């Protein structure tokens, strides 16, 4: 009976993961609490997953990756792009290699976030569409994670499952014999052929082209007969049903950015509005304001040179997600105007204040040059402009590399368990000033940590109640009388399919017990099954929802949901066809 309840719980969780209405960590917690209430997971064991070595290791690796980023090490690699020339093949190859190399030793999303602005700048500078480069480097970030133990959470989780089975975890570079060739072959495919399979969409050559926002900004004058004279800025939108956004006003040749809602409008005030032609006509008819003609008062007014635009993408850990501009009170609280939103392949300009922000949204923000960059950082958004590379002092780079290499060495030579070695490395980066204290909690991917902590006890229940045995038996029936290589490939394909739909960490927690059970039933080593699951968990190339890296490039690249399989499907086929014999060669059954 218990295994049926676990099946139902996991089935419901899988549906909720795919639906995406609730965040994956919330879904995982709901699954855990349900099993605790039902009595399948003992209440005193409910939260033991948060002390699991995999959870500690993932958190520590995220912190060390942040320390390496702040040291300027990855930016030094990014400088290589200046020597890449204008050839698109070369640009994609170099960017993909750098991204994969960085992803092998730090968080995939973090590595991609560092290289994305560089890629967009390179594309625009050379007249190439960003869509030709962004998906390739997103896929490269997933490929690079296959190379090392710390390259991606699935590898860390798989290593701990092996420790439970063989009393010895996979080592730091045990994944490299399979992961490195797959990464090289994958990047060659992406750079030589894969990017050509993507739809040819017109790229933007400058920041303003993405939204063409200037054609939506209009200036009108408040006359003595205007119906809004004496009314407050906050009352403007109540006068007309059309969407009209007040971006600021010019009064006595001085520009007032994001005026207060209680600011009364006076005669001769110039209102800076964002609206379309229909909305403007309705607004003028109902308010009696006058168009000011071709002269751009906002550009001549004192203080206008301080107002800048920034194009940003919403990161997975941004506090914007799930909120609207109204609920966050962006204008008053942060002093910025939201001018446009691009989501997937469509742009949103009407009723933007009521649109709930989502991971991967591209926003066009307007604010003061002295504060807007700090606001973007606090909102944990990624600016999509060419930035100055934050090359750290040589001493910082050396310190960061030394700490990182010492942590790796202690793991390789068996001096410390991986979770202790990297936790110590993270603490060392804090003590040496490489990692500011404020960054400790800001740059841990808490949804993934909570997901792992909640799903590990659920995975244990899945195994102990016989659910894993039952599902493994069905897979064995499906592959009955087939050779080992077929079963290894089949397990990899199933893992890939799940990773394309749900978080790959959750996929690994579910698939690892099944792989171990299948190996036991076939009388073979569990290693090839675990390696197949690790590779499959890092191969979420078919959808934008399978991995955060895929989601992150969707808006800036202007991709549609269906674009991912164009390059992703042949890449997954290549990985299965080449990865299966590689696994069995280096990890024989």
Asked whether residue 315 is domain-assigned, the answer is yes
Instruction: Express each pLDDT in 29-82 by its tens digit.
Output: 999 999 999 999 999 989 999 988 888 988 898 888 888 878 877 666 666 665
pLDDT > 60? residue 416: yes
| Domain end (from 351, 373, 390) | 390
Between CA 455 and CA 493 the distance in angstroms is: 22
- What is the distance of C-alpha 366 from the center of its chain? 23
Same domain membership, residue 240 and residue 183: no
pLDDT score, position 204: 43
Is the model more confident about 537 or about 332? 537
- What the block records as the tokens of 260 is 């207060």
Q: 206: which residues sit within 8 A by CB, 6+ positions away? A: 124
**Range of weakest confidence among 417-431, 466-480, 493-507:** 466-480
Tell me which residue range forms the domain holding 269: 206-390
For 68-71, the CB contacts below 8 A with 24+ separation are: 68/105, 68/106, 68/400, 68/401, 68/404, 69/106, 69/110, 69/114, 70/390, 70/392, 70/396, 70/400, 70/434, 70/435, 70/436, 70/439, 71/392, 71/396, 71/397, 71/399, 71/400, 71/401, 71/434
Angle at 297 between CA 291 and CA 300, to 5 degrees: 170
The widest CA-to-CA distance across the chain, in whole angstroms, is 90
Distances (CA, A) of 443 to 65, 156, 213, 357: 9, 19, 33, 20
Buried b (16+ CB within 10 A) or exposed e, 164-180: ebeeebbebbbbbebbb
Contact 441, 63 (CB under 8 A): no
Q: To which H or E segment does residue 340 belong?
A: strand 337-343
Report the Cα–Cα distance between both ends of the chain, in Å, rounded. 34
User: What mean pLDDT is predicted for residues 119-130?
Assistant: 81
Query: Which bin fits 412, alpha (ψ -120 to 50), beta or left (φ > 0)?
Result: alpha
The DSSP output letter for 544 is S
The pLDDT assigned to 207 comes to 45
Packing angle between helix 527-537 and helix 484-499, nearest 10 degrees?
Answer: 30
* pLDDT value of residue 503: 83
CA atoms within 13 A on the CB side of 412: 11
Same domain, 257 and 358: yes
* pLDDT confidence of residue 293: 65
Q: Which residue has the higher pLDDT, 4 or 214?
A: 4
CA distance 423 to 434: 15
Q: What is the mean pLDDT of the chain?
A: 85
Residue 566 lies in a domain: yes
The answer to whether 276 touches 296, Cβ cutoff 8 Å, is no
pLDDT mean over 302-314: 80
Specify if 19 maps to a domain: no
pLDDT digits over 71-116, tens only? 877 666 666 665 666 788 888 999 999 999 989 988 888 888 888 8
256-268 pLDDT per residue, tens: 888 888 889 999 8
Quote the CA–CA distance of 581 and 562 in Å, as a whole number. 30
Residue 145 half-sphere exposure toward CB, CA atoms < 13 A = 32
Residues in Cβ contact with 123 at an 8 Å cutoff, skipping those fewer than 6 apart:
91, 129, 130, 132, 133, 203
pLDDT interval class at 393 (50, 70, 90): low
Identify whether residues 554 and 577 lie together within a single domain: yes
Are 186 and 318 in the same domain? no
Based on the fold, state whether residues 195 and 256 are members of the same structural domain.
no
| 375 and 320 within one domain | yes
Least confident stretch, 54-58, 129-133, 347-351 = 347-351
Output the pLDDT for position 344: 65
Examine residue 499 and state whether it is found in any structural domain, yes or no. Answer: yes
The arithmetic mean of pLDDT across residues 450-456, rounded, is 90
pLDDT score recorded for residue 75: 67
- In Å, how far are 45, 173, 288, 451 from 51, measured between CA atoms? 11, 24, 66, 13
Q: What is the pLDDT of residue 212?
A: 62
> DSSP of 565-583, one letter per residue?
HHHHHHHHHHHHHHHHHHH
* Confidence bin at 391 (pLDDT 50/70/90): very low
Among residues 358, 390, 422, which one ends one of the domains?
390
| 110 shares a domain with 211 | no
203-209 own/partner pairs: CB under 8 Å, 24+ apart: 203/123, 203/124, 203/127, 203/128, 203/129, 203/130, 203/131, 203/132, 204/124, 204/129, 204/130, 205/124, 205/127, 206/124, 207/309, 207/311, 207/384, 207/385, 208/309
CA distance 487 to 589: 11
**Whole-angstrom Cα distance, residue 518 to residue 266?**
77
Sequence-ordered strand ranges (E) for 372-487: 381-383
Determine the distance from the C-alpha atom of residue 493 to the mean position of all C-alpha atoms in its chain, rounded to a whole number: 24
Distances (CA, A) of 335 to 216, 365, 370: 20, 10, 11
Here the CATH number for the domain that contains residue 337 is 3.30.70.1450
Helices (H) and strands (E) in the chain, counts: 25, 10
Higher pLDDT, 296 or 192: 192
Residue 29 covered by a domain: no
Contacts of 520 (CB under 8 A, 6+ apart): 526
186, part of any domain: yes
386 phi and psi, to 5 degrees?
Answer: -65, 120
138-142 average pLDDT score:
96
Model confidence at 210: pLDDT above 80? no
Could you tell me if 353 and 257 lie in one domain?
Answer: yes
Out of 230-234, 240-244, 268-272, 326-330, pick the least confident. Answer: 240-244
Residue 241 and residue 386 in one domain: yes
**Predicted local confidence at residue 279, as pLDDT:** 78
pLDDT of 14 reads: 84
Residue 385 scores a pLDDT above 80 = no
How far CA 504 is from CA of 239, 287, 472, 489, 526, in Å, comes to 49, 55, 19, 18, 20
- Return the pLDDT at 551: 85
**pLDDT recorded at residue 31:** 93
Please name every residue paired with 254 in a beta bridge, in sequence order, or none if there are none.
251, 302
pLDDT digit string (tens) for 183-208?
999 999 999 999 999 886 554 444 44
* Range in 200-209, 373-382, 438-447 with the lowest mean pLDDT: 200-209
> What is the reported pLDDT for 295?
58
The answer as to whether 278 is a domain residue is yes
Domain boundary among 370, 390, 410: 390
Tell me how many degrees the CA angle 282-285-287 measures, rounded to the nearest 5.
100
How confident is residue 168, by pLDDT bands cut at 50, 70 and 90?
confident
At 276, phi and psi to the nearest 5? -95, 180
254 CB burial (10 A radius; 0-12, 13-18, 19+): exposed
> Do 564 and 467 fall within a single domain?
yes
- Tell me what percent of the residues of the chain surpass a pLDDT of 90: 32
Task: Quote the number of domains for the chain.
Answer: 2
What average pLDDT does the segment 580-584 reach? 97
User: Distance between CA atoms of 457 and 455, rounded to whole angstroms?
Assistant: 6
- 203-223: average pLDDT: 64
377, part of any domain: yes
pLDDT at 158: 95
Mean of pLDDT values over 129-152: 93
Please give the pLDDT value at position 343.
77
Question: Same domain, yes or no, for 220 and 248?
Answer: yes
- Together in a domain, 466 and 561: yes
């Amino acid at each position: 009976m218990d295994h049926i309840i676990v099946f139902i719980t996991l089935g419901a969780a899988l549906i909720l993961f795919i639906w995406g209405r609730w965040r994956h960590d919330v879904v995982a917690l709901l699954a855990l609490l349900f099993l605790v209430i039902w009595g399948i997971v003992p209440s005193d064991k409910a939260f033991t997953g948060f002390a699991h070595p995999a959870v500690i290791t993932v958190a520590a690796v995220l912190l060390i990756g942040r320390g390496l980023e702040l040291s300027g090490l990855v930016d030094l690699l990014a400088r290589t792009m200046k020597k890449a020339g204008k050839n698109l093949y070369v640009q994609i190859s170099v960017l993909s290699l750098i991204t994969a190399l960085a992803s092998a030793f730090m968080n995939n999303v973090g590595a991609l976030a560092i290289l994305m602005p560089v890629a967009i700048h390179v594309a625009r500078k050379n007249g190439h569409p960003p869509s030709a480069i962004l998906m390739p480097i997103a896929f490269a970030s997933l490929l690079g994670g296959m190379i090392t133990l710390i390259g991606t959470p699935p590898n860390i989780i798989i290593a701990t499952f092996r420790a439970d089975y063989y009393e010895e975890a996979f080592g730091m570079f045990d994944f490299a014999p399979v992961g490195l060739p797959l990464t090289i072959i994958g990047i060659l495919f992406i750079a030589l052929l894969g990017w050509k399979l993507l739809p040819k969409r017109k790229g933007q050559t400058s920041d303003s082209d993405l939204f063409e926002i200037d054609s939506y900004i209009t200036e009108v004058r408040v006359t003595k007969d205007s119906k809004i004279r004496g009314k407050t800025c906050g009352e403007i939108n109540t006068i007309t049903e059309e969407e009209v956004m007040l971006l600021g006003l010019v009064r006595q040749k001085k520009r007032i950015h994001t005026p207060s809602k209680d600011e009364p409008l006076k005669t001769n005030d110039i209102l800076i509005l964002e609206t379309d032609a229909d909305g403007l006509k309705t607004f003028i008819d109902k308010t009696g304001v006058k168009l000011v003609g071709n002269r751009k008062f906002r550009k001549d007014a004192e203080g206008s040179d301080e107002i800048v635009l920034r194009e940003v993408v919403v990161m997975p850990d941004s506090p914007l997600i799930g909120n609207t501009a109204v609920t966050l009170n962006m204008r008053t609280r942060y002093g910025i105007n939201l001018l446009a939103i691009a989501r997937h392949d469509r742009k949103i300009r009407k009723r933007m204040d009521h649109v709930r922000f989502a991971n991967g949204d591209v926003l066009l923000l307007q604010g003061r040059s002295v504060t807007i960059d700090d606001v973007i950082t606090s909102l944990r958004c990624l600016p999509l402009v060419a930035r100055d590379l934050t090359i750290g002092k040589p001493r910082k780079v050396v310190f960061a590399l030394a700490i990182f290499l010492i942590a790796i060495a202690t793991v390789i030579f068996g001096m410390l368990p991986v979770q202790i070695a990297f936790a110590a490395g993270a603490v060392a980066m804090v003590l040496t000033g490489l990692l500011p204290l404020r960054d400790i909690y800001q740059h841990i991917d808490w949804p993934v940590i909570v997901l792992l902590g909640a799903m590990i006890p659920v995975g244990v229940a899945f195994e102990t109640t016989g659910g894993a045995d039952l599902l493994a038996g069905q897979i064995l029936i499906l592959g009955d009388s087939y050779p080992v290589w077929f079963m290894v490939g089949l397990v990899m394909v199933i893992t890939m399919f799940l990773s394309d739909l749900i978080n790959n960490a959750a996929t690994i927690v579910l698939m690892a017990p099944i792989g171990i059970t299948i190996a036991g039933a076939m009388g073979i080593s569990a290693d090839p099954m675990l390696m197949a699951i690790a590779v499959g968990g890092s191969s979420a190339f078919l959808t934008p929802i399978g991995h955060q890296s895929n989601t992150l490039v969707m808006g800036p690249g202007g991709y549609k949901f269906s674009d991912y399989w164009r390059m992703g499907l042949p890449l997954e086929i290549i990985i299965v066809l080449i990865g299966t014999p590689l696994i069995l060669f280096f990890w024989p059954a």
